[in-house]
Amino acid sequence: MLDPGGPVIDAHVHPLQNFGARRTASAAEDVTVLRAAAERAGVTQAVLFSLHGTVPRNPTIDECREANDYAQQMAEESDGFFLPFCYVTPEEPSASADEVDRCVGEKRMAGVKLWVARRATDPGLDPILERAVHWRVPVLQHAWRKTTGNLEGESTPADVADLARRHPQAQIIMAHLNGCNPRGIEDIVDVPNVCVDTSGGDPESGVVELAVERLGAGRVVFGSDAPIRHFGVCLAKVLGANLPWETKRMILWDNLQNRLPEWVRAGVIS
């Protein structure tokens, strides 16, 4: 029932240092506790990005660097279990582009993470996307459609579609399927370089099925948003969906693997 029947890669994980109810004393402890929780659910590999220990909504580039160093440390401690993404801020476009070069070009991080400093329609994102395209790594952009109102710099799915149209060569992962809701799915239907991750929100029935129906099976990737969300609860969104087994396996593994850079795929845990 809870057996994913093969390897599972989670597209959306944060360190416990950022959001864990249980705070950890070191990156090594973070790896031990978080990895154990993931493996209990059947997750075999996970994309990890730190939003800094203090989780500022508008981080400085120095805070992004600290966050990235922490994620890199966790990746190194995890023997390939965690794949780090580079977190940057469109508040400082030029410095962020340099940080992408440092993290992806030099340290071989697997992608870029953007959160809520500025909406995806903002030109401050453009130099960052250009570097992601240069290094051929995916960009994971936070998105939500909150009835209670988004934060000032928080992107909607329509904003993500705008970003993807400005950068048609970029591979964009739009975060939080359940938060984007059925209207948000429609916003990206005709933007083929955007896929959606299943992270965030409650495990509502029928949402993953709807995303597959509207976007196609190849444009949905599994994500949890752990430790905010439970790995197993989020995995159940896919395992409990009314979809063919082959489609579930695509969501749980193939679709994200196909979007990761070659240096990651070469070292894949299969």
Partner 1 sequence: MNSIDLIDVCAWTGDWNTLSVAGGAGAVRESLRACRVSQIQMSSLRTVWGHNLHLGNVDAYEAADRFDNVVPVPLLDPTLATWREELARATKRDDVSIIRLLPAYSGYTLDDPRVSACAEAVQAAGLILSVQMRIEDERRNHPNARVPDVPFEQITTFAHRHRDLPVVMGGAPWRAVLSGAKAILACDHVYAETSQMDGVDSITLMIEAGLGERLLFATHAPLFIPLAGVARILLDLSAETATAILGGNARQLLNR
The residues of the shown chain that bind partner 1, judged by CB under 8 A, are 1-2, 16, 20-22, 33-34, 37, 40-41, 144, 146-148, 178-179, 181, 201-207, 210, 226-237, 239-241
* Signed CA dihedral, 3, 242, 81, 262: sign only: positive
- Kind plus residue range of the DSSP H or E element containing 37: helix 27-41
> Distance between CA 216 and CA 182 in Å, rounded?
14
Closer to partner 1 at the Cβ: 43 or 104?
A: 43
Closer to partner 1 at the Cβ: 164 or 174?
A: 174
How far is C-alpha 68 from the geometric centre of its chain's CA atoms? 14
Q: How far is the CB of 42 from partner 1 (least distance, A)?
A: 9
Q: How far is the CB of 265 from partner 1 (least distance, A)?
A: 27
Closer to partner 1 at the Cβ: 74 or 164?
A: 74
Q: How far is the CB of 204 from partner 1 (least distance, A)?
A: 6
Closer to partner 1 at the Cβ: 37 or 104?
A: 37
Q: How far is the CB of 267 from partner 1 (least distance, A)?
A: 26
Rounded to 5°, the CA angle 147-214-249 comes to 105
CA-to-CA separations, 135 to 81, 108, 128, 175, 263, in angstroms, rounded: 22, 10, 11, 21, 11
Q: How far is the CB of 11 from partner 1 (least distance, A)?
A: 16
Q: Tell me the Ramachandran region of residue 243: left when phi exceeds 0, alpha when psi lies from -120 to 50, beta otherwise.
A: beta
Residue identified by tokens 């402890």 is: 29
Closer to partner 1 at the Cβ: 192 or 244?
A: 244
Residue 149: how many CB atoms within 10 A of its CB? 7
Q: In the beta sheet, which residues pair with residue 119?
A: none
Q: How far is the CB of 208 from partner 1 (least distance, A)?
A: 9
Amino acid at site 223: G
Q: How far is the CB of 18 from partner 1 (least distance, A)?
A: 12
Closer to partner 1 at the Cβ: 148 or 270?
A: 148
Closer to partner 1 at the Cβ: 21 or 266?
A: 21
Instruction: Name the token pair of 40.
Output: 């209990």
* Signed CA dihedral, 19, 25, 30, 36: sign only: negative
Residue identified by tokens 């998105």 is: 143
Instruction: Name the token pair of 38.
Output: 């993931």
